[in-house]
Amino acid sequence: MNHVYQVRQELKPKGLKGISDDQINQHWSLYEGYVKNVNTLNERLAAFVSKSEYGPEYAEMKRRLGFEYDGMILHEHYFSALKPGQPALTDSSELVKQMKRYFGGFEAWKKEFTAIGKMRGVGWAILYYDPQYRVLSNHWITLHDDGHPAGFVPLLVMDVWEHAFMVDWGVTGRPDYIEAFFKNVDWPHVEKRFQEAAKAAVALA
């Protein structure tokens, strides 16, 4: 039986600095579309499976699934990390200690993450935790499904598709939007994600 995914209403941010509620509302409707498409595709795929029809229609829909799933999941990570008025990380934070180890410090980490976010083309900048080697790394993800290091845990996800900032900042506003993004990151939430990922980390035998 298919799991039916629901829109995670509780994750919807509001009252952010430099990212208006109108911008969030429009972006949110795209996220809702991914949830709907995941459910629709799963339903149609199940119908093919029940008839043991694994032809080209099944194959094309199966290929499409990763894009729709990642569109849903990445938007949930993105929205859940945005909350107004949260405190910055301090030097006693375990995440900051690890950033120091792998990037040279919070500011050095942020510099690379920002540069990735400004890369040409639509995509995402993601800070990942590698549970195998307990390492942090920044990645560029093209579209939604291309470039994820398998098994890594996304700690902070930044959407840099134009639809994420066009309402507020226009087509050339990506640098201003990235600055606004950093004013709204819910660092205690990111720190908690890091600690939970570290606790759950299991190396391959």
Residue 122, classified by CB atoms within 10 Å of its CB into exposed (0-12), middle (13-18) or buried (19+), is middle
**How far is it, in rounded angstroms, from Cα 36 to Cα 56?**
22
In the complex, least distance from residue 8 CB atom to Fe ion, rounded to whole angstroms: 14
- Sign for the pseudo-dihedral over CA of 155, 159, 160, 166: negative
Q: Which residue in the shown chain puts its C-beta closest to Fe ion?
A: 159
Q: SS3 of 170, please?
A: coil
Q: Between 99 and 158, whose beta carbon lies closer to Fe ion? A: 158
Strand arrangement, sheet containing 153-159: 135-142, 123-130, 153-159
What does DSSP say about strands 153-159 and 135-142: parallel, antiparallel, or unpaired? Answer: unpaired
In the complex, least distance from residue 163 CB atom to Fe ion, rounded to whole angstroms: 6
CB 7 within 8 A of CB 31: yes
In the complex, least distance from residue 71 CB atom to Fe ion, rounded to whole angstroms: 8
Q: Between 76 and 159, whose beta carbon lies closer to Fe ion? A: 159
In the complex, least distance from residue 175 CB atom to Fe ion, rounded to whole angstroms: 18
Q: Between 127 and 158, whose beta carbon lies closer to Fe ion? A: 158
Give the residues lining the site for Fe ion (CB under 5 A).
159, 161
